Copies of this chain bind each other. A is one copy, B any other.
Amino acid sequence: MPDDSHAEALVAAAREGDPRSLARLVSLVENGSAALRPVMRAVLPHAGHARVVGLTGSPGVGKSTVTAALVRAYRALGLRVGVLAVDPTSPFTGGALLGDRVRMQDHATDPGVFIRSMASRGHLGGLAAAAPQALRILDAAGFDVICVETVGVGQAEVEIASLADSTLVIVAPGMGDSIQAAKAGILEIADLFVVNKSDRPGAQEVVRDLRTMLAMARFGADGWKPPIVSASAATGDGIEELVARLDEHWSWLESSGERDRRRLARARAEVSAIAVAEMRRQLGGLPGQSRLDDLAAQVAAGKLDPYSAADELIAG
C-alpha cells in the first residue's frame, strides 16, 4: 500500500509514460484500495485536461469497433488516447468486453494508447465511484482523449454516461428492438448518435427512426441537437465525420458553459459515492457487522421492523 511519496512516484512514472505504473494505479481503483487516498492527492494537480468520450449501446452494435476506429483517428492526429471498457452488467467477470479487446490488438504496442477493462466487482461504491477515479488517473497521466466504453443497460449506462464530456449512443441495423427499447432513455444521454454498420440492410431505416425521434424531442434555444453520424467502423467510413462532430460538440460544451456544469456534476457524484461507500464501510466494519447480524436476525424473526433496525444500526 503506497504512502504519499510512493503514490507520487507512481503518478510521476505514469506521467512519463510508464504503462506498468499506470496499470498499477488503475488496479488500485478497481480493487477499491485504501491506497487510493494518497494517489488521488498525487494526481490532483495534473488532472482536468482530457476530453472524455463515452460510448454506449446494446450488445452487438459494434462499440469496440467504433472505439478502435476513434483510437486510430485520434492517434493519427498525434493525440494520446486512453480506453476504459466498463462492464456494469457483470459482477463476476469483465469477460464480455475483454473478449472484444482482441480487436484493439493493433494498438497493443503503441505507448500513446492505454487500454483497460474494468468489471464491476460489486465492491463498495461500485462503478459509480471507481470509473471517475480511473478517469482522473488517466487524465493526470497525460492522455488527451479518454474513451469510456460501456454496455447500454439502464441505470448503469446513465451513470457512466454522466461521466463523459460527450456521449455517443451507438445503434446498428438488425438489432431488432434496440432503438425501441432504448427510446425512453437515450435521448437523455446522447450527445451524438452513431448508426454503425451503415453498409448493412436497414441502416437507412434506423437513421430515419432516429430522425423522427429527434424531431419530436425538444431542445433548448441554445441547446445542442444530437447529430446522427452513419458509419462503418470496420472499414473506417464515417469516422472522419464522427471526429469532426465530436470537435463541434467539444466547442459547444466550452462556449455554452455546459462543460463546467458537467464536470461539477461529475465531481458531485464522485464525492457523494465515496462518502456513501465510506459510510457503508463504517456500517459493515467489525463491530457494526455483528450488530447488523443481530438486527437482521430480529427482522427475519418478525420481532423488529427493518426501519427501526436501520435506525438502531446508524445510531450505533
Write out the residue numbers on chain B whose beta carbons fall within 8 Å of the beta carbon of A292.
268, 271-272
A285 sits at the interface (CB 8 A): no
A96 CB–B CB distance under 8 Å = yes
Q: Spot the interface stretch: A165-173, A206-214, A294-302.
A: A294-302
Known: A41-B305, A48-B302, A276-B279. A91 touches B185 (CB 8 A): yes
Q: Does A89 contact B (CB under 8 A)?
A: yes
Residues of B within 8 A of A296 (CB): 264-265, 267-268, 270-271
Copies of this protein chain in the complex: 2
A window 260-310: CB within 8 A of B: 260, 263-268, 270-272, 274-276, 278-280, 283-284, 292-293, 295-297, 299-300, 302, 304-310
CB distance from A181 to the nearest CB of B (A): 6
Assess whether A283 is in contact with B274, with CB atoms less than 8 Å apart: no
Residues of B within 8 A of A295 (CB): 271
Number of interface residues of A (CB under 8 A): 68
Q: Measured between alpha carbons, how far is A162 from B101 in the docked complex, in Å?
A: 32
Contact stretch, chosen from A16-24, A77-85, A152-160: A152-160
A2 within 8 A of B: no
Note all chain B residues with C-beta closer than 8 A to A154: 87-91, 120, 153
Bound CA span A306–B278, Å: 12
- How far is A271 from B294 in the complex, measured between Cα atoms in Å? 11
Instruction: Determine how close the nearest CB of chain B comes to the CB of A174; give it in whole angstroms.
Output: 13
Residues of B contacting A239 in the complex (Cβ-Cβ under 8 angstroms)? none
Return the chain B residue nearest A269 by Cβ.
B296
Interface residues of A in 93-147 (CB under 8 A from B): 93, 95-96, 120, 122, 126, 132-133, 136
Q: What is the CA–CA distance of A184 and B122 in the complex, to the nearest angstrom?
A: 15
The reply to whether the CB of A233 lies closer than 8 angstroms to some CB of chain B is no
Bitwise, A47-74 to B at CB < 8 A (1) or not (0) is 1100000000000000000000000000
Residues of the B chain whose Cβ atoms lie less than 8 Å from the Cβ of A283: 272, 275-276
Given contacts A263-B300, A284-B272, A300-B264, contact A91 B155 (CB under 8 A): yes
**Assuming A122-B158, A274-B307, what are 11 further A-B pairs, CB within 8 angstroms?**
A40-B305, A41-B305, A43-B305, A44-B304, A264-B300, A271-B306, A272-B310, A274-B309, A275-B310, A278-B314, A279-B279
User: Would you list 7 pairs from A and B whose C-beta atoms are within 8 A, ordered by A residue?
Assistant: A43-B305, A44-B304, A87-B154, A89-B153, A90-B154, A92-B188, A270-B299
